[in-house]
Amino acid sequence: MRLPAATGNFYCMNAAILVAAGKGTRMGAGVDKLFLEVAGRPVVAHTWRRFDDAECIGEIILVVRRGMRKAFSQLAEKYHFQKPFHIVIGGAERQDSVWNGLEALSPASEIVAIQDAARPCTNGELIAATVRAADESGAAVAAQPVTDTVKESADGRFIQRTLDRSRLWSVQTPQTFRIEVIRRALAEVRHRGLVFTDDTAACELIGQQVRLVSSVAPNPKVTVPGDLPFIETLLTGKIGF
């Protein structure tokens, strides 16, 4: 764990968990999407930099796959990240990885932003907006209103019906919470033996309202190889944030 510099607002009581323990199977066998180079550095290094630069974040927890601790430590040395960080091992499911990250937080932290490590374009304004919304409401999520017409299909072959897109939002990360809220929500998920792939779904389970924070700038996630050219364009500034 890197020790913090004792200056300015560095000790703000907010944290980030970068979830980097997934297998990324849609990228193809043997490909670790987090370490693919885009705009001159690995995907995860861009994501880490966004939170290292965010004034509203005081510490960073990286949740990684077993055997990857050294690789992430080397990234920290190479790119000179400044904020205190801690690397922990992920669990069987995403919710288990987030739980492990929560267990590693400083007791002083009050709000936590949970981020897909494969989402490297998240800007500081969006991070700060979700922190403010979580402070006010207990839980918040970066999201965009759905603009495409959305169809429902039970078998993946034929359309059953058209959904009302005026009520639909596509959620992203960061998903940001007061720490006691997300702990309580995930504890209930674990107690019931459920599996969720989205942290806000755990809040829905306990009746916790989640504030939508509109993500105006592009905030894509690296999922398949075809995502990389667009993300490269965003990161190199050819399309502004």
- pLDDT per position as a tens digit, 173-231: 999 999 999 999 999 999 999 999 899 999 999 999 999 999 999 999 999 889 999 99
Q: What is the 3-state secondary structure (H, E, C) of the chain?
A: CCCCCCCCCCCCCEEEEEEECCCCHHHCCCCCHHHCEECCEEHHHHHHHHHHHCCCCCEEEEEECCCCHHHHHHHHHHHCCCCCEEEEECCCCHHHHHHHHHHCCCCCCCEEEEEECCCCCCCHHHHHHHHHHHHHHCEEEEEEECCCCCEECCCCCCCCEECCHHHCEEEEEEEEEEHHHHHHHHHHHHHHCCCCCCHHHHHHHCCCCCEEEECCCCCCCCCCHHHHHHHHHHHCCCCCC
For residues 101, 104, 106, 112, the Cα torsion angle rounded to the nearest 10 degrees is 0
Q: Which amino acid is at 140?
A: A
- pLDDT at residue number 106: 94
Per-10-residue mean pLDDT, the chain, length 241: 41 88 62 92 98 97 97 97 97 96 96 98 98 97 96 96 96 98 98 95 98 96 93 82 43
d(CA 129, CA 139): 12
- pLDDT at residue number 4: 40
- pLDDT per position as a tens digit, 173-186: 999 999 999 999 99
- pLDDT at residue number 219: 97
Closest by CA to 231, choosing from 84, 71, 41, 61, is: 41
- pLDDT at residue number 237: 84
